[in-house]
Amino acid sequence: MQYLLSLDAGTTSLKGMLFDVHGRQAAWRLEEYELSKPAPDIVQLDPEVYWEAAKRAVRAVLATSGAAPQDVAAMGVTSQGETLIVVDRDGRPLRPAIVWLDNRTREQSEAIDRDFNSTTVYRVTGQPEMIPTWSATRILWLRRHEPAVFQQAYKYLMVEDYLIYRLTGRFATDRALSASTLYYDLTTGCWWPEMLQYLGISEEQLPELKDSGEVAGEVSESAARETGLRPGTLVTTAPIDQVAGAVGAGNLEPGVITETTGAALAICATLGEPLYDPLRRVGLYGHAVRGRFVLLPWIPTAGMVLRWFRDELGGGNDYDQLVEQAQAIPEGAEGLIVLPHLSGAGSPEPDPRVKGVFWGVTLGHRRGHFVRAILESIAYVLRSNLTLLEELGMQIREVRSLGGAARSDLWLQIKADVCRKDLLVMACDEAASLGVAMIASVAAGIHRDLAAASNAMVDVHKRVPFDPDAAERYDAAYVRYADLYRHVKGLFH
């Protein structure tokens, strides 16, 4: 039997998954890691942690499934975007990875915003706002604050690129991942020379650009010894994790929306041609399907807010226990409203200075109220972004829900009711991993193209219809949420 292996390096964990050619899951392994936060606004991680997690995950899925190394026809790698890893000539990291949540580079972000026309930046890169998240701001920060690292830098990589290098010994990246750097030209499919010159780096310091599903290389002898894979196994690039999730949910045609609530909330809307927002509220990325594009509204903290609450204020309760407590609370959490911007606000009003808020707290509110208010806050953000897409002229035919939150019936129902839209829940709740496997299947010649791979490997598990009565109650709650954000956001400036 042939298998397809996917690695998905997220913000706080790495997933290794093995699928057969019909999309059935044969084995999976989750490897968690703790981000280092040594000071306010600084979020980083030793790059070796990603590689160690990948090795453990690969060995685990091979052992659990009983698959022989030669049965793995191909593998693909996806990851979070923006996170920057700097390596020397020997491929050794020169410093901890600067994780996308890191906000130390506000000054550099403001400098780029000052020195480049914002409309030009949007048209070239697809990125509508200048925020510290983009990889370009990190390079500028290194140039000023860590000149020794800047001078020794041989390659600037993202997490996917680093894992591909450790697997194959080659430096390669996916075009649909590179759109999150701010130095990739979406219109030409090449690195953006003007931005590279501004940053003081050369094209040779960046990995080779490839289309989604292109073979980046083969598993090396040394990587085979460390992972248990067969030397020569094909390794393919894959788009940024959110776009990979869209592929894994069968989101290949215009009019289909996928929303992924993991650590962050990301919404993918497939386009047949580029669509720019005149008010620059939403980012534009390449799709894994050549010639198609994705509008990608997002906020940096979604499921991460619930995790933070569990860890700091959850009283030892696990997720299931917390959600059970929230189940008993009525819609609107009896007036308790959360602004879930614990690491800055994202779409549709990006602002890295905004912080999180719990508003309207009374002595009558219990832990369940706080949990429900967190779940509802993410649904409110989802609604505001779906409204944005419709304002831009998109006809939303269906919304497909992905990510860890898709396992929560309560959270799904809240989203459906708040947004007044039925939700489709996919049979595979790890759509990014499935999407990577689908992309690898095309590279290996198992499926003709992604449409054929989707027909063979993607299934819908259930439909969650919205409740009109609950939706009416949420309409009023959403207005209060929007009013609160409008009144308090200026306090953070």
Q: What is the pLDDT of residues 22-41, one digit of tens each?
A: 999 999 999 999 999 999 99
> pLDDT at residue 71 above 90?
yes
More confident residue, 179 or 333: 333
* Range 163-187 average pLDDT: 95
* Range 329-334 average pLDDT: 98
> pLDDT at residue 262 above 90?
no
> pLDDT at residue 430 above 90?
no
Structural domains of the chain, ranges and CATH numbers in brackets: 3-238 (3.30.420.40), 250-426+459-493 (3.30.420.40)
More confident residue, 76 or 397: 76
* Range 175-196 average pLDDT: 95
Q: What is the mean pLDDT of the chain?
A: 95
* Range 415-429 average pLDDT: 95
Instruction: Please tell me the number of Cα atoms within 13 Å of 59 on its side-chain side.
Output: 13
pLDDT of residue 404: 84
Chain segment 335-373, per-residue pLDDT in tens: 999 999 998 999 999 888 899 999 999 999 999 999 999
> pLDDT at residue 375 above 90?
yes
pLDDT of residue 358: 98
Under a CB-based contact definition with an 8 Å cutoff, are residues 309 and 317 in contact? no
pTM: 0.85
> pLDDT at residue 310 above 90?
yes
* Range 281-285 average pLDDT: 91
> pLDDT at residue 15 above 90?
yes
> Residue 131's pLDDT band (boundaries 50, 70, 90)?
confident
* Range 366-385 average pLDDT: 98
